Structure 1
Amino acid sequence: MTPNRTYIRSPHGGFGNGAGASHLAGRVPVDGPDVRALAAGLLFEDPYHSVYQLTDLSLTWTNLPGWTVLAPPPSTWPVVRVADPTAAVPGETEADAKVLNRIRGLLAKAEATDFAEEAEIFTAKAQELMTRYAINAALLHTQNGVGNTAVHSRRIHLENPYVKEKVHLLTEIGDSNRVRTVWFSSLAIATVVGTPLDLQQVDMLFTSLLVQATRAMQFADADSRGGSRTTSFRKGFLAGFASRIGQRLRDADSRATAEAADEASIPVDALLPILATKSEAVDAEFDRLFPRTKKARGRAVDANGWYAGQAAADDASLAPGERALRR
């Protein structure tokens, strides 16, 4: 099977850590550094590490591309903190702590239960709360005459195994919540761009669904399906899970949007332009930060794993009270 969804990958980005990293930024010339000279300088300032360690660090650092700046560095912060001009609406840049705690509690219950139907209800309620809270914030933003939409970015570190499949899941969740995702393959880091509320909620939902997907994959192993313990099966499982979850999240978002419009006593057609304006602001910031990106090609995956993952995603129903599709 070949997944029909792709995630965005960027050729740009950079990352450094380890011994002497604080001295590197000012020592790497634009036209290409001398690795040996760089390592010698670091060794002079930091004699507690071996030449081999510092040479390896220097070589790694000099081979990395430029790092996209997502926010002003501390050196440029004002002495007195000023309010964000785009935060005229309470909760526009930071989600209400009570709402976040409710979402976290629902997702924690979904992760803890071994019963699919309970996980369905908890996850569904969390998604519904996320959608309605985001829509209410957008409505308040418009009603208060605020012209600009606050758009932020954050980096998410992903760990092996199955990193690409995890990125697929993150991208599907982000797409369903008007958040753009870019993937730095050489660094195993994803950057997500969206409104602060959406970023917080996507991060939480991704963490929860990743836990649920991993547990469902383990159950698939326990069922002793043919090839279920192979790497190819598990990659196919996670790819199928991500693809199906994305479809269901988008469906849930459409339903919740219609319900929110009904509760606000406005037609859906009047609400859609407000959400479109938010999406346009996110797209503009994404294009500013990452002007050159490309979509990664889909690749063939294990068919048994793909269908098992899709079935597991069906069991993780996202509509309140809805029964699993697969029985």
Structure 2
Amino acid sequence: MRDDKLLTRIAGLLRQAENTDNPHEAETFMAAAQRLATASAIDLAVARAHDPAARSRTTPISRQVTIGESGKRGLKTYVLLFVAIARANDVTVDVAGNSTFVMAYGYEADIDTCEALYTSLVVQMVAASDAYLRSGDYKQEMSARVVTRGQGWRARKVVERKPLAPITARLNFQSAFAERIGKRLAEARDAQREEAIAAETDAPLAADGTERVGSSSTAIALRNKELEVSDYYRSASQARGTWRPSSASAGYSEGARKAGDRAGRRAKLGADREFGAPRGQLGS
């Protein structure tokens, strides 16, 4: 079950991130939100490892999350954002062939965290890419893609360069934004895990001089959780084939990607959307 008190605390951190104009403060609050979510997930994993009843009550689930309407351009970049968030929160994802929805596999609280972060960040990603296009900076950039020229034995691959189109600029910008968000969340998660394991390792010995009961249980519990989600995914997933986050035909732009990466570094986690709000289907 979702812990509403925990979600309220995390939502408070996200509001603080959104309401500050100081990028360093925003980064601190963002990391704190992810670390709190990770700490809760660790506590749950450890509790389940020591309590058979808890294991039977709390098991992995699957949930469909809507991404957008069929035919909307750029849906793969929205999926890429959700996948990046999911990877930082122990959630495995299958993607619909047309990228209109994903199936998330993991523990309910972890999926809740993913949806809450996604709902806020997808709005920021689209707004930032809109601002980039309005600035006109992309007009000074070139896109590059590999194309095949000729047929049969005369065929050869060449790099085709041409002025950067708005849709190509948007796709490159949003892809880089999503990748940067994933790195930021993963760093916060890893820091929290390392802290929890270190605290357990440094704990005092038991009265009889033996190692404290449960020592190293955090690392073991996290590994068991990973295996349980993996086993559940293999039994529940009906996916066929492999999802690819981008298409080579779209073209590559270093400038647009750098702009998207910078926006991802500045992004704030959350705020105008609370945990428990309607799930984030994208607007037009």
Shift of 1:244: 2.0
Q: CA RMSD in A?
A: 2.7
Shift of 1:243: 1.5
Shift of 1:251: 2.0
Q: Considering only CA atoms, is the larger Rg found in Structure 1 or Structure 2?
A: 1
Q: Distance in 2 between matches of 1:307 and 1:187?
A: 25
Structure 1 residues 215 and 124: CA distance shift in structure 2, 3 A? farther
Q: Which residue in 2 is equivalent to 1:282?
A: 229
Structure 1 residues 215 and 115: CA distance shift in structure 2, 3 A? farther
Q: Distance in 2 between matches of 1:113 and 1:215?
A: 18
Q: Does 1:173 align with 2:85?
A: yes
Whether the aligned pair in 2 keeps the contact of 1:121 and 1:317 (CA below 8 Å) is no
Shift of 1:104: 2.0
Q: Distance in 2 between matches of 1:269 and 1:212?
A: 39
Q: Which amino acid aligns with 2:247?
A: R
Aligned residues: 225
Q: Does 1:214 align with 2:126?
A: yes
Q: Which residue in 2 is equivalent to 1:58?
A: none
Larger deviation, residues 187-196 vs 143-152: 143-152
Shift of 1:294: 2.3
Q: Does 1:150 align with 2:59?
A: yes
Q: Which residue in 2 is equivalent to 1:121?
A: 28
Gaps of 5+ in 2: 140-163, 204-214, 270-284
Shift of 1:315: 2.8
Shift of 1:129: 1.0
Comparing both chains, which one has the higher relative contact order based on Cα–Cα distances under 8 Å and sequence gaps of 6 or more? 2
Structure 1 residues 234 and 194: CA distance shift in structure 2, 3 A? same
Whether the aligned pair in 1 keeps the contact of 2:46 and 2:217 (CA below 8 Å) is no
Secondary structure at 2:95's aligned position in 1? strand
* C-alpha distance after superposition, 1:83-113 (max 9, x if no partner): xxxxxxxxxxx13211111222322443455
Q: Which residue in 2 is equivalent to 1:5?
A: none
Tell me which of 60, 76, 96 is aligned to 2:3: 96
Tell me which of 66, 70, 76 is aligned to 1:164: 76
- 1:1-327 matches, cutoff 5 A: 94-111=1-18, 115-145=22-52, 146-148=54-56, 150-159=59-68, 160-186=72-98, 188-227=100-139, 230-264=166-200, 270-297=217-244, 298-300=246-248, 301-316=252-267
Whether the aligned pair in 1 keeps the contact of 2:64 and 2:101 (CA below 8 Å) is yes
Whether the aligned pair in 2 keeps the contact of 1:111 and 1:208 (CA below 8 Å) is no
Whether the aligned pair in 1 keeps the contact of 2:45 and 2:221 (CA below 8 Å) is yes
Whether the aligned pair in 2 keeps the contact of 1:241 and 1:312 (CA below 8 Å) is yes
Shift of 1:158: 1.1
* C-alpha distance after superposition, 1:135-172 (max 9, x if no partner): 11111222324455510111111124421101011111
**TM-score with structure 1 setting the length:** 0.61
Q: Which amino acid aligns with 1:121?
A: T
Shift of 1:303: 2.6
Secondary structure at 1:295's aligned position in 2? coil
Structure 1 residues 230 and 187: CA distance shift in structure 2, 3 A? closer
Q: Which amino acid aligns with 2:173?
A: F
Structure 1 residues 107 and 166: CA distance shift in structure 2, 3 A? same
* C-alpha distance after superposition, 1:16-49 (max 9, x if no partner): xxxxxxxxxxxxxxxxxxxxxxxxxxxxxxxxxx
Shift of 1:265: 5.2
Q: Distance in 2 between matches of 1:132 and 1:168?
A: 25
Q: Distance in 2 between matches of 1:118 and 1:215?
A: 21
Q: Which amino acid aligns with 1:170?
A: F
Structure 1 residues 198 and 103: CA distance shift in structure 2, 3 A? same
Q: Distance in 2 between matches of 1:287 and 1:266?
A: 37
Shift of 1:263: 4.0
* C-alpha distance after superposition, 1:197-251 (max 9, x if no partner): 1111111111122123223323433543123881111111111111222222222
Q: Which amino acid aligns with 1:247?
A: K
Q: Distance in 1 between matches of 2:167 and 2:16?
A: 29
Whether the aligned pair in 2 keeps the contact of 1:111 and 1:211 (CA below 8 Å) is no
Whether the aligned pair in 1 keeps the contact of 2:200 and 2:216 (CA below 8 Å) is no
Q: Distance in 2 between matches of 1:198 and 1:305?
A: 32
